[in-house]
Amino acid sequence: MTLFEARPITVSIARPADQVYDFACQPERFPRWAAGLGESLTRDGDRWIAHGPDGDVAVRFSPRNSHGVLDHWVTLPDGTEVSIPLRVVANGDGAEVTLTLFRLPGMDDARFARDQGMVAEDLATLKALLES
């Protein structure tokens, strides 16, 4: 059994959870707040191609649902698929958005810390977009 070290990274957003989900569940909007997926996405059948500085990656998104699940899976150029659990849950009149970051094999402390910082920045961008 393989278990990866995991870090939940959360932001509180002062908007109703359904509004946060409705905004964030649209793949076309990810480049506005999720820099880790690159500068643009192109639809390719039931997946998307993210165009970033390190090349293209394929991305599959969870279908729209009533549970706040925004999970997505990124297939790297070498064929490795990375699972990215992402949730929106109600918190009073607002929402909590949590992304669980897994430490992949071979990822050193510096890269894991860098990725945590990048995710925190992405979630802060989402918060700023939705609270403006």
For the chain, domain boundaries: 6-131
What does the alpha-carbon distance between residue 17 and residue 93 come to, in Å, rounded to a whole number?
Answer: 8
**CATH value of 6-131 in 3.30.530.20, 3.30.70.100, 3.40.50.1970, 3.10.300.10:** 3.30.530.20
Report DSSP state, residue 46: T
Residue 31 predicted with pLDDT over 80: yes
pLDDT value of residue 11: 98
What does the alpha-carbon distance between residue 34 and residue 121 come to, in Å, rounded to a whole number?
Answer: 9
67 dihedral zone (left: phi>0; alpha: psi -120 to 50; beta): alpha
Decide: 125 and 117 in contact? Cβ < 8 Å: no
Q: Which residue is listed with tokens 């165009």? A: 51
Query: How confident is the model over 41-89, as pLDDT tens digits?
Result: 899 998 999 987 678 899 999 999 999 999 999 998 889 899 999 999 9
What does the alpha-carbon distance between residue 129 and residue 132 come to, in Å, rounded to a whole number?
Answer: 6
Instruction: Kindly report the average pLDDT of the chain as a whole number.
Output: 94
pLDDT value of residue 29: 93
pLDDT value of residue 55: 80
Q: What are the backbone dihedrals phi and psi of residue 47, each rounded to the nearest 5 degrees, phi first? A: -130, 175
pLDDT value of residue 53: 67
